[in-house]
A and B are shown apart, each in its own frame.
Chain A
């Protein structure tokens, strides 16, 4: 039973399209995250979402928007995709800052 699951695992799309990545956690955690891993494997926080409080990394373009229908889900919607958006996107969840984050398997997004 996967703790943090994301779909799809691979996503290839054209520039200018709008796409969504879904994430679900069954751990009962209060906080969920989206991270971006670039081609050099550098991981950077994009968003964290806790009890309806959204914290946005100021460097994230507003084309990216997280949507949380409930505590167990945090989807990532991306408008007007650009070549530079190509990366692996990881969803994660944690109970609080003193406990570890559990990561999904990642979604490899390729914009052509």
Chain B
């Protein structure tokens, strides 16, 4: 069965520091992987997606993620954190039947000045 594990429920960084949010997946078929961001009291917004093209995926707001099959990972990074990046981040994989997204438990990113 498909699943994702996000390591670290809470990550704190200083403004300007590197952001690294970890996601490992389990999939019995070639996965489609996604990162979403959720700001308080809002819906989910897609940051980026991996659909078997380039392994390094660039998304919005300066985020990128690298698909590493050997490590079954899809970690999200941003070179320099901004206060506005503070939010909840979710990694997701499509289920085996391709009928829905399976989400990780989320990582809360805090950014301090």
Q: Is the CB of B100 within 8 A of A48?
A: yes
Q: How far is the CB of B32 from chain A (nearest CB, A)?
A: 6
Q: How far is the CB of A89 from chain B (nearest CB, A)?
A: 11
- Determine, out of B44-52, B66-74, B78-86, the stretch whose residues face the partner at the interface: B44-52
Contact size range, A = 20 to 34
Q: Restricting to B27-49, which residues have a CB under 8 Å from any CB of A?
A: 32, 34, 36, 38, 41-46, 49
Q: Is the CB of B43 within 8 A of A97?
A: no
Residues on A with beta carbons closer than 8 Å to the beta carbon of B94: 97-98
Q: How far is the CB of B106 from chain A (nearest CB, A)?
A: 5
A100 contacts which of B49, B88, B105 (Cβ < 8 Å)?
B49
Residues on B with beta carbons closer than 8 Å to the beta carbon of A98: 32, 51, 94
A45 within 8 A of B: yes
B interface footprint on A48-85 (CB within 8 Å = 1, 0 otherwise): 10100001000000000000000000000000000000
Q: A48-B100, A97-B98, A100-B34 are in contact. Are A42 and B106 (CB under 8 A)?
A: yes
Q: Is the CB of B44 within 8 A of A103?
A: yes
Q: Is the CB of B43 within 8 A of A106?
A: yes
B interface vs A, CB < 8 Å? 32, 34, 36, 38, 41-46, 49, 51, 88, 90, 94-95, 97-103, 105-106
- The 25 listed contacts between A and B (C-beta, < 8 Å) are A4-B43, A40-B105, A41-B105, A41-B106, A42-B103, A43-B44, A43-B90, A44-B103, A45-B95, A45-B101, A45-B102, A48-B100, A55-B97, A55-B100, A90-B43, A97-B32, A97-B94, A97-B98, A98-B32, A103-B36, A103-B44, A105-B42, A105-B43, A106-B42, A106-B43
